[in-house]
């Protein structure tokens, strides 16, 4: 009794201290906010309307060009106070010089904010985001954002156009490479940690950077996977399936949001007041600023929204604060205010939000705070960052197939290393690595040499061009020669590859996509290997030698033939600066692969869009059913080739049945679902245990499975670990037809397994 008493006192004291700490921290933030308000108010009182409008203008002088036009007369505009921010340049020196123009010449000395596309690392490039998500490791992903923030700020930047959190279920869309795949739950967790990694909840530090969540919203649902295409979607689908990652990023404190190029149910995102003001600001409480995507305001004219004046009015009145490269605000906003079509308050609000961002970043205190030559020297591509890039890359690769334990390879004998991507620096970094230097990347050939030295005899042949289609090559090669065409004929190259394979014990074929076959403006209607590479692979398989297909790709590809005929397939995405070393580590078993795909791999393009959290329909097809009058295809299975969450290991894992702590859950209670997972193979291995839930009866149709939890464990051979998930009503909530976030009592199923298809299941009731 006495002990209990003491415990209670201790808890009370700690509780009190906790509350007190909260009170004092919120008091502190109130004080900081009022200091900021005073500062911004005083400054805005001095500003003319034109100067306020100037803050809404974001320019790019070129450099890393990411759109069809670049801004003109940038220096003059900065001097005149007609620029609020700039993107496309890096380096403490360049940024200092540009900042000096603003600070020394503009009458009000307002510093610029400097942004850039820092997407999967800045100079040290990590795997593409789709690859990063395949690690299912939010701590690791946060670390990549942290390192990127460190490098970006050491290189003069204060703002990164990341994370990209668009849910994508269509691998034809090239930008699927830039996000975390198809699932809103995983996507939200990743969005949150990216924001935390960039901003660390404290933008006043020298090594934190303001994030920009993009592309708001629903860009990943572009019809037919065609870039920039229309989106027409029910609100229920939006709220339940597409919006959660944006909201998670906003809840995590994202400093800014970028609108998307697409329209949404008839209103382009950049002119969409419901999206930007009602949902983002009013419902979600977003306090930062909203920037358009590249020239998205003038593009409203093509959308059929009106002329320059009209589209400027629409964007401003929608609540869009900053105009990226369009310069429509600069040209027309003052006139619109004069005519009463846009209120002065709208301009004030937009200007205030941008000044607040600069204030939070500490730019008023020290406009040059990110211009530190010493930091640039020591922090960019430091040994520690490169080491992290290698470790991260290993964690992202997905073993799609491994018959007869072809992998891992022995560290002896002769390997035929074949393929246009086997010794190719140019393509290792993948799309959106604007500051990465491909010349500093480690190729797979180099990586293998680094890892096995002379113990393995490596024979090399290019075997094929990435593509032989001249028109296609021109289209891909806009930023340089990513697809280089050999002078030899395809036959000559294949013959050389076959001869090389004949001399080896095993063939490692490194095939796939050039870096810019995914990313912006890289939609594809055919997502298989290019014909040149398919022919090569077929010839290699015909030699009878064991073939390992190492894929480099930015999207799920159709690999039906490959899955049938190639014994081992390792998906390495675009693994970044250290990709070659990481691939070699995995090929030779220094790291046991543990990645799991986060976007379904279709069997053919006709199955697209394909995603695991689909609905049941009134006539669901189950294998073994008579197929007539069922929701299926005559010519292909309903299932993907590789389902969401799938990925093999060099070891094997066995799952026990699920045990539930209770099969009834009350609305204020919790139950636990547990499985025992055993490593039944001979190597230590990491497994991502996934938990899905199905709401059996709802006021609206509910998906057949929804990811609601995952845990990573590492097991030694023979080891068993119990993995438990706690379930409460929070895991059962969804947006109903009135867009209310509710739970509904009734029957549920819980599934736990190694991927979205191979699961154990149990039933429970919510009372
Ligand atoms: C266009 C892209 O859609 C966006 O993702 C990027 O951040 C901007 N251009 C700026 O480069």
- Residue of 58, 60, 67, 257 to test ligand 1 pocket, by largest number of atoms within 8 Å of CB: 67
Residues 194, 245: contact at Cβ < 8 Å?
no
Q: Which two tokens stand for residue 139?
A: 């701590």
Half-sphere exposure of 594 (CA within 13 A, CB side): 24
Q: Distance from the CA of 292 to the center of ligand 1, in angstroms?
A: 9
What is the distance between the alpha carbons of residues 144 and 135, in angstroms, rounded to a whole number? 12
- The pLDDT value recorded for residue 328 is 98
User: Does residue 50 fall inside a structural domain?
Assistant: no
* Helix (H), strand (E) at residue 115: strand 113-116
Based on the fold, state whether residues 458 and 590 are members of the same structural domain: yes
- The pLDDT value recorded for residue 73 is 96
Based on the fold, state whether residues 423 and 570 are members of the same structural domain: yes
Beta strands in 419-456 (DSSP E): none
Reference 187, options 712, 703, 694, 710; nearest CA is 710
Q: Give SS3 for 415.
A: strand
Pairing of strands 746-753, 759-766: antiparallel
Q: Distance from the CA of 404 to the center of ligand 1, in angstroms?
A: 44
- The pLDDT value recorded for residue 23 is 57
* Helix (H), strand (E) at residue 210: strand 210-216
User: Does residue 300 fall inside a structural domain?
Assistant: no
User: Greatest CA span in the chain, whole angstroms?
Assistant: 89
Could you give the number of structural domains in the chain? 3
Reference 88, options 60, 119, 118; nearest CA is 60
The CATH number given to whatever domain includes residue 680 is 2.60.40.10
Based on the fold, state whether residues 658 and 755 are members of the same structural domain: yes
Instruction: Determine the average pLDDT of the residues in 695-717.
Output: 98
Q: Give this prediction's pTM.
A: 0.96
User: Does residue 147 fall inside a structural domain?
Assistant: no
Based on the fold, state whether residues 602 and 717 are members of the same structural domain: no
- The pLDDT value recorded for residue 29 is 83
Residue 63's pLDDT band (boundaries 50, 70, 90)?
Answer: confident
- The torsion region of residue 445 among left (phi > 0), alpha (psi -120 to 50) and beta comes to alpha
Residues 316, 310: contact at Cβ < 8 Å?
no
Residue in the block written with tokens 């419901």: 274
User: Does residue 247 fall inside a structural domain?
Assistant: no
Based on the fold, state whether residues 514 and 407 are members of the same structural domain: yes
Residue 4's pLDDT band (boundaries 50, 70, 90)?
Answer: very low
Based on the fold, state whether residues 411 and 471 are members of the same structural domain: yes
Instruction: Determine the average pLDDT of the residues in 664-689.
Output: 98
User: Does residue 32 fall inside a structural domain?
Assistant: yes
pLDDT tens digit sequence for 72-88: 999 999 999 999 999 99
pLDDT tens digit sequence for 499-541: 999 999 999 999 999 999 999 999 999 999 999 999 999 999 9
Q: Distance from the CA of 69 to the center of ligand 1, in angstroms?
A: 13
Q: Distance from the CA of 165 to the center of ligand 1, in angstroms?
A: 13
Q: Distance from the CA of 324 to the center of ligand 1, in angstroms?
A: 9
User: Does residue 697 fall inside a structural domain?
Assistant: yes
Q: Give SS3 for 114.
A: strand
Instruction: Determine the average pLDDT of the residues in 476-503.
Output: 96
The residue whose CA is least distant from atom 3 of ligand 1 is: 293
Residue 301's pLDDT band (boundaries 50, 70, 90)?
Answer: very high
What is the distance between the alpha carbons of residues 754 and 336, in angstroms, rounded to a whole number? 57
Residues 656, 675: contact at Cβ < 8 Å?
yes
Residue in the block written with tokens 């050939």: 445
Based on the fold, state whether residues 600 and 527 are members of the same structural domain: yes
Based on the fold, state whether residues 567 and 688 are members of the same structural domain: no
Q: Which domain holds residue 734?
A: 653-766
pLDDT tens digit sequence for 102-129: 999 999 999 999 999 999 999 999 999 9
Half-sphere exposure of 599 (CA within 13 A, CB side): 34
- Residue of 520, 521, 522, 523 to test ligand 1 pocket, by largest number of atoms within 8 Å of CB: 520
Map 620-683 to HEC letters. ECCCCCCCCCCECCCCCCCCCCECCCCCECCCCEEECCCEECCCEECCCCCEEEEEEEEECCCC
Q: Which residues line ligand 1 (CB under 6 A)?
A: 66-67, 117, 161, 214, 293-294, 520
User: Does residue 514 fall inside a structural domain?
Assistant: yes
Based on the fold, state whether residues 453 and 558 are members of the same structural domain: yes
User: Does residue 658 fall inside a structural domain?
Assistant: yes
Based on the fold, state whether residues 674 and 529 are members of the same structural domain: no
Based on the fold, state whether residues 679 and 563 are members of the same structural domain: no
Residue 69's pLDDT band (boundaries 50, 70, 90)?
Answer: confident
What's the DSSP call for residue 407? Answer: P
- The pLDDT value recorded for residue 66 is 75
In the predicted model, is pLDDT for residue 13 greater than 60?
no
Based on the fold, state whether residues 585 and 443 are members of the same structural domain: yes
For the CA of 261, the closest atom of ligand 1 is: 3
What is the distance between the alpha carbons of residues 273 and 258, in angstroms, rounded to a whole number? 14
The CATH number given to whatever domain includes residue 586 is 3.40.50.1700
- Residue of 58, 62, 66 to test ligand 1 pocket, by largest number of atoms within 8 Å of CB: 66
- Give the residue numbers marked as catalytic: 293
Residues 483, 396: contact at Cβ < 8 Å?
no
């Amino acid at each position: 009794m006495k002990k209990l008493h003491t415990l209670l006192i201790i808890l009370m004291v700690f509780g009190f201290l906790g509350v007190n700490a909260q009170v004092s921290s919120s008091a502190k933030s109130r004080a900081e906010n009022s200091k900021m308000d005073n500062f911004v108010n005083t400054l805005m009182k001095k500003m003319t309307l034109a100067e306020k409008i100037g803050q809404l203008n974001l320019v790019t002088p070129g450099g890393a060009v990411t759109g069809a036009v670049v801004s003109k007369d940038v220096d003059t505009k900065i001097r005149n106070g007609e620029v609020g921010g700039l993107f496309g340049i890096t380096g403490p020196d360049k940024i200092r010089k540009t900042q000096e123009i603003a600070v020394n010449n503009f009458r009000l000395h307002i510093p610029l904010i400097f942004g850039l596309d820092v997407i999967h690392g800045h100079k040290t490039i990590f795997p593409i985001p789709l690859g990063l998500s395949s690690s299912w490791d939010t701590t690791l992903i946060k670390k990549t954002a942290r390192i990127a923030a460190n490098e970006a700020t050491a290189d003069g930047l204060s703002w990164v156009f990341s994370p990209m959190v668009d849910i994508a279920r269509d691998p034809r869309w090239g930008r699927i490479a830039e996000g975390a795949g198809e699932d809103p739950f995983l996507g939200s967790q990743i969005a949150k940690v990216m924001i935390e990694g960039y901003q660390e909840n404290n933008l006043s530090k020298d090594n934190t950077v303001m994030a920009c969540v993009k592309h708001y919203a629903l860009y990943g649902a572009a019809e037919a996977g065609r870039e920039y295409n229309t989106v027409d979607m029910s609100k229920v689908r939006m709220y339940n399936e597409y919006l959660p990652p944006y909201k998670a990023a906003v809840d995590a404190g994202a400093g800014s949001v970028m609108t998307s190029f697409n329209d949404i149910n008839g209103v382009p995102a950049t002119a969409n007041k419901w999206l930007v003001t009602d949902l983002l600001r009013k419902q979600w409480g977003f306090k930062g600023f909203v920037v358009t995507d590249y020239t998205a305001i003038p593009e409203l004219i093509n959308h059929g929204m009106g002329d320059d004046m009209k589209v400027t009015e629409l964007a401003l009145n929608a609540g869009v604060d900053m105009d990226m490269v369009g310069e429509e605000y600069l040209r027309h906003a003052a006139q619109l205010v004069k005519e009463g079509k846009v209120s002065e308050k709208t301009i004030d609000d937009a200007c205030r939000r941008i000044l607040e961002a600069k204030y939070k970043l500490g730019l008023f205190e020290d406009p040059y705070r990110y211009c530190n030559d010493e930091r640039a020297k020591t922090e960019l591509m430091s040994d520690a960052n490169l080491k992290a890039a290698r470790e991260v890359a290993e964690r992202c690769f997905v073993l799609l197939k491994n018959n007869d334990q072809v992998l891992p390879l022995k560290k002896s004998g002769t390997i035929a290393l074949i393929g246009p991507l086997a010794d190719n620096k140019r393509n290792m970094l993948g799309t959106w690595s604007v500051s990465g230097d491909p010349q500093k990347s480690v190729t797979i050939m180099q990586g293998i040499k680094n890892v096995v030295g002379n113990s393995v005899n490596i024979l090399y042949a290019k075997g094929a061009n990435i593509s032989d289609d001249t028109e296609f090559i021109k289209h891909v090669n806009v930023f340089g020669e990513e697809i280089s065409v050999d002078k030899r004929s395809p036959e000559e190259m294949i013959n050389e590859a076959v001869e090389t394979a004949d001399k080896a014990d095993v063939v490692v074929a490194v095939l796939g996509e050039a870096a810019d076959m995914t990313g912006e403006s890289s939609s594809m209607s055919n997502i298989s290997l290019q014909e040149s590479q398919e022919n090569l692979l077929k010839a290699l398989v015909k030699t009878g030698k064991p073939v390992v297909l190492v894929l480099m790709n930015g999207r799920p590809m159709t690999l039906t033939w490959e899955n049938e005929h190639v014994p081992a397939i390792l998906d390495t995405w675009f693994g970044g600066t250290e990709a070659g070393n990481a691939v070699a580590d995995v090929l030779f078993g220094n790291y046991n692969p543990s990645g799991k795909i986060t976007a379904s791999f279709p069997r053919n393009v006709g199955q697209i869009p394909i995603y695991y959290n689909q609905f049941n329909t009134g006539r669901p097809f189950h294998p073994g059913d008579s197929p007539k009058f069922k929701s299926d295809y005559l010519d292909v299975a309903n299932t993907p080739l590789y389902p969401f969450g799938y990925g093999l290991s060099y070891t094997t894992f066995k799952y026990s049945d699920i045990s539930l702590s209770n099969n009834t859950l009350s609305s204020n209670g919790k139950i636990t679902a547990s499985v025992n997972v055993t490593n039944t193979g001979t190597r230590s291995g990491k497994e991502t245990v996934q938990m899905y839930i199905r709401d059996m009866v709802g006021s609206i149709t509910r998906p057949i499975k929804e990811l609601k939890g995952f845990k990573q464990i590492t097991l030694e051979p023979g080891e068993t670990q119990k993995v438990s998930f706690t379930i409460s009503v929070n895991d059962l909530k969804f947006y109903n037809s009135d867009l209310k976030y509710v739970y509904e009592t009734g029957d549920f199923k819980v599934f736990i397994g190694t991927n979205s298809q191979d699961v154990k299941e149990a039933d429970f009731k919510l009372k």
